[in-house]
Structure 1
Amino acid sequence: MMAYSEPLDIYVHSELELCVKEILSFIKPTVDDIQKRESVINELAGAIQIDQSLRGASVKAFGSYISNLYSRWGDLDISIDMTQSSTSSADRWCKLNALEKIMWALQRTGIANNIEFVRHARVPLVVYQSRRYNISCDITIDNRAGYVKSYILRLISNIDERFRELVLLIKECAKAQHLNDPKTGTLNSYSLCLLIIFHFQTCRPAIFPPLRDLYKGNIVDDVKGHSTLRHVEDSFVAKIATFRSEISGQRNQSSICQLLISFFDKFSALGTMASNHAISTYRGEWKPIYSNRRFLRKAQVLRIEDPFEQTENAARAVDTEGLAMISQTFSDMHRKLSSRSAPLDRTLLLDNLVRPEIKSDLEHRREPMNPR
């Protein structure tokens, strides 16, 4: 449908290569970051035991921590599984009641700062910051779908190591450019991951296959019903191995910087394409919006089909102003990073690719990176 510049043909300034390596080395989680998150989970599991009705509930991480697509400063998404406790969470009222008890437990045990109960959200949650570990946490109830999607994203990321690196770069850049906040009409992190999957599917040669080639059907529904998560995992692993074998002689050789620049190029026309098409990572193609009746029934300006729950739009929070800002920013980023005439220096790159506080940390690092 669209002609894209092939990443391998893209010129990359040497300063961009150095800067990207430095950013990635700084934002990737350390062993200490991983241990702190495990400690936060155990800390919360202990705190909720003071309420008798919550005893037996299990505390499970999901989101970017499970998919391994988080930076050192990433939030921690946590689901409280009530199925083994005395409190049923079959409906919204029960979930709200459970969250109120969790909020009380956080206050009573003193492990949390900045506690907020977001009761009117589409998925109600309690937000807090661990007092000891300074990690922001979002708690939901029985978020099985969130866990399943996170787990499958981790399997997908194992296809190619460049996926995780590009996700970390794009998420950090999106935060720096104010494009990663669904509350203000821009993209959530899950949508950004899907855009990158789509980018990998539409490169030539493709880095990822259409996701239906790895598993046919709505995974979230199947895991709830007859199929177990292990069955889904086995299917993914087997078909990933087949895909890798098929492309072994023609692996895409694009560098992470070439993939970064071509990402911004590909989606700089997002606003134009979104008026009539949805992004489908399930099929690996732009899909006319009239092919999904659910999309037609809702006035949404950007449609990114959830590959694991195909009736859902992962980008439903994006509004008209947000979409225009996303498209313009992507276009500007492509122009800045691909220009051969305009000078590219480290300060300019950091201004565009990372948040101010991370730029400050990078500028004051005592041991500059030793490029190889």
Structure 2
Amino acid sequence: MSSDNSLEFTLRDILAAINPTGDDWSARLRLIEELRVVVRSLESLRGGWQKLQFIANARVPILKCKSSYLNISCDISINNLNGQMKSKLLFWINEIDRRFRDMVLLVKEWAKAHDINDSKSGTFNSYCLSLLVIFHFQTCTPAILPPLQEIYPRNMVDDLRGVRADAEKNIEETCAENIYRFRSDKSRMRNYSSLSELFISFLAKFSDISSRAPEQGISPCSGQWENIETNTRWQPKTYALFVEDPFEQPANTARTVNQRNLSRISETFQTTHQMLISGNQDYNSVLATLVGPQVSQFLQRRPVHNPRPRAYISQNSRARPQTDRAVNLSMQGQNQFQNARVDRRPNTNGATMQRTVNAAQNQVQQVWRPRSDR
């Protein structure tokens, strides 16, 4: 069996372990209801919530807390419409190609395993990692995703003004039309790379990120590296790395990354890439490189890996590693909780765009399943 096939099966095993189950979604729904009760009465905080921390100096002020009952960590923001719309846009992008969601899950798990997915410690936040995956899919040959300016040609946050319902509807209709146009383009060359090929090329693409960062920034909006000196939106440059938010230009989603950690991040890309292409690593050593200890131990306890192509196993029937789960919640008003977003994964559960445009509560009740037409 080739090393590429071996890695492909390993990645599928990892996805089977970290994909949210029906129980996961139910737990999040219970958490949302628990938070509704909290909002109605602060007295209910006694004994039900712990590790409360208010981050007032964040770009979007948040309340960090943890549910004692469900063991889920939360970041709660209020009236964060920009964040909600960005989550929706990531969800719609997944409709172009389902490999996007799988890659985001794998990349975030790998980044957590190497301590480079923690903005508080000077590394990537999860949204930035998602944009790196988008950029990788835009710059593959042939491209999997278009420049995001072809999905929404304007700065989204500038259009979220006036009557909220009208602004959201206009954004949704524009994105739906452009995504449909891109997907139905018969002249577009299709990319049939496997997850393992995409993951290895992702690592290779950003292995030199620390040396490119002083002169070039990453623009998912245009789908290309851009010279910082000639990009007036990014001046003056005061960051170690620039990954532009395509929906809130010129905001830098990598603003927390410092120079010391950028060098370590680049080395992590390099060493992981070299290890995977060497082809002489066994299953357990690959797991130790790609996932955290809990997921690795869970998969190592399973029966001997069977190297055959197989469908995803039922998400409701298997045991899961007991990890400390996290969720980001945006509250519209005191009693409305919409678009639950897991810190380990975007809220792209794969339902059709039309079904989810105005049905955030239904999103978290549905369990995403891959489909065969990639």
TM-score for the superposition, normalised by structure 2: 0.78
CA distance in 1, matches of 2:285, 2:238: 38
Cα deviation for residue 188 of structure 1 reads: 0.6
The equivalent of 1:125 in structure 2 is 62
Cα deviation for residue 111 of structure 1 reads: 2.2
Residues 256, 247 of structure 1: alpha-carbon distance in 2 compared, 3 angstrom cutoff: farther
Residues 238, 105 of structure 1: alpha-carbon distance in 2 compared, 3 angstrom cutoff: farther
Q: How does 1:176-255 map to 2 (within 5 A)?
A: 176-225=113-162, 228-246=167-185, 250-255=189-194
* Identical-pair percentage: 42
The equivalent of 1:259 in structure 2 is 198
Q: How does 1:112-191 map to 2 (within 5 A)?
A: 112-191=49-128
TM-score for the superposition, normalised by structure 1: 0.78
One-letter amino acid of the counterpart of residue 61, structure 2: P
Q: 1:296 aligns with which of 219, 235, 243?
A: 235
CA distance in 2, matches of 1:303, 1:262: 21
Q: 1:317 aligns with which of 256, 259, 263?
A: 256
Cα deviation for residue 12 of structure 1 reads: 4.5
Are the aligned partners of 1:16 and 1:344 in contact in 2 as well (CA < 8 Å)? no
Count of aligned pairs: 306
Are the aligned partners of 1:265 and 1:330 in contact in 2 as well (CA < 8 Å)? yes
CA distance in 1, matches of 2:144, 2:187: 11
Are the aligned partners of 2:4 and 2:197 in contact in 1 as well (CA < 8 Å)? no
Q: How does 1:38-117 map to 2 (within 5 A)?
A: 38-50=29-41, 104-105=42-43, 107-108=45-46, 110-117=47-54
CA distance in 1, matches of 2:124, 2:43: 32
* Unaligned residue ranges in structure 1 (runs of 5+): 1-10, 51-103
3-state SS of the aligned residue for 2:289? helix
3-state SS of the aligned residue for 1:344? coil
The equivalent of 1:287 in structure 2 is 226
CA distance in 2, matches of 1:350, 1:328: 19
What is the root-mean-square deviation in Å for CA atoms of aligned residues?
1.9
Q: Residue deviations 1:324-371, cap 9 Å, x none?
A: 11111111111111124xx12111101100001111111223696673
Are the aligned partners of 2:60 and 2:80 in contact in 1 as well (CA < 8 Å)? no
Are the aligned partners of 2:6 and 2:307 in contact in 1 as well (CA < 8 Å)? no
3-state SS of the aligned residue for 2:235? helix
Q: 2:269 aligns with which of 320, 330, 342?
A: 330
The equivalent of 2:20 in structure 1 is 29
3-state SS of the aligned residue for 2:226? strand
3-state SS of the aligned residue for 2:184? helix
CA distance in 2, matches of 1:20, 1:139: 31
3-state SS of the aligned residue for 2:77? strand
Are the aligned partners of 2:160 and 2:167 in contact in 1 as well (CA < 8 Å)? yes
Could you say which structure has the larger radius of gyration? 1
When you count helix as a share of all residues, which structure comes out higher? Answer: 1
